Amino acid sequence: MVESPINGSYHILSIKLRTVTGPVHLFSVYALTLHLKADIKDTFYEEIQSDIRRISQNEHIFLMRDFNARVGADHNSSPSCLGKHGTGKINENGQRLLEICNYNNLCITNTFFNTKPCHKVSWKHPRSHRWHQLDLVITRRNAINSVLSTRSYHSADCDTDHSLICGKVRLKIKTLHHSKRKGCHTLTPKIPPNQKWYNRSAIH
């Protein structure tokens, strides 16, 4: 079941799915571009932090779409957030995003899969014609094993200059632990001394 979208804004929209695996929160994020003033970007990332904070730690969360951030390929700089298959160099927006991820134990799923170089990037700079990885799928670090793949599809027609990013996820149903029932005592009825006599009398 899908609940009505909440906290909708031009840059962030979220919906909550009620599934057999528990609640799943999906965030569609259109981040601010690099050239905007620092105080404007501060407000935007504070809004993201506020939205993440309200989600219970035992509920699934996925942040997706255009983060306008390059997180780079330096796995050692943020080993809990970045896998070993990132691409390019980090920029200021990427640093801000990694700080959010580090603080909330989130990870950039795009960087955890050894795909072809063309499947790691999603946007081509109009002047330099270089491809970059701006569109990301982010989830909790302890849920990375539930993500089967994250890659771009350049042939998909999405009426945008960004390529389609697709993430495949398999969520496991939570096991319910029931309290152990106490053992039941077996009651053995006592046969009165005259029971055999009563049975014989009833036959006659």
Q: pLDDT digit string (tens) for 34-58?
A: 889 999 999 999 999 999 999 999 9
Tokens representing residue 106 in the block: 């989130």
Q: Is residue 81 part of a domain?
A: yes
Residue 201 lies inside a defined structural domain of this protein: no
Among candidate residues 11, 29, 32, 111, the one with its CA nearest the CA of residue 65: 29
- Compute the distance between CA of residue 66 and CA of residue 123 in angstroms, rounded to an integer: 10
Q: What is the pLDDT of residues 97-142, one digit of tens each?
A: 999 999 999 999 999 999 999 999 999 999 999 999 999 999 999 9
Domain CATH code at residue 118? 3.60.10.10
Cα pseudo-dihedral 70, 74, 77, 83, rounded to 10: 90
Which of 14-18, 23-27, 33-37, 188-192 has the weakest average pLDDT?
188-192
Residue numbers of the domain that contains 29: 12-174
Structural domains in the chain (count) = 1
- 156 located within any domain: yes
Residue 188 located in a structural domain = no
Determine the pLDDT at residue 74. 96
Identify which of 37, 22, 29 has the alpha carbon closest to the alpha carbon of residue 8.
29
**Tokens describing residue 90:** 């980090």
Q: What are the CB-based long-range contacts (under 8 Å, 24+) for 186-189? A: none
For the CA atoms of the chain, what is the radius of gyration?
28
Residue 149 resides in a domain: yes
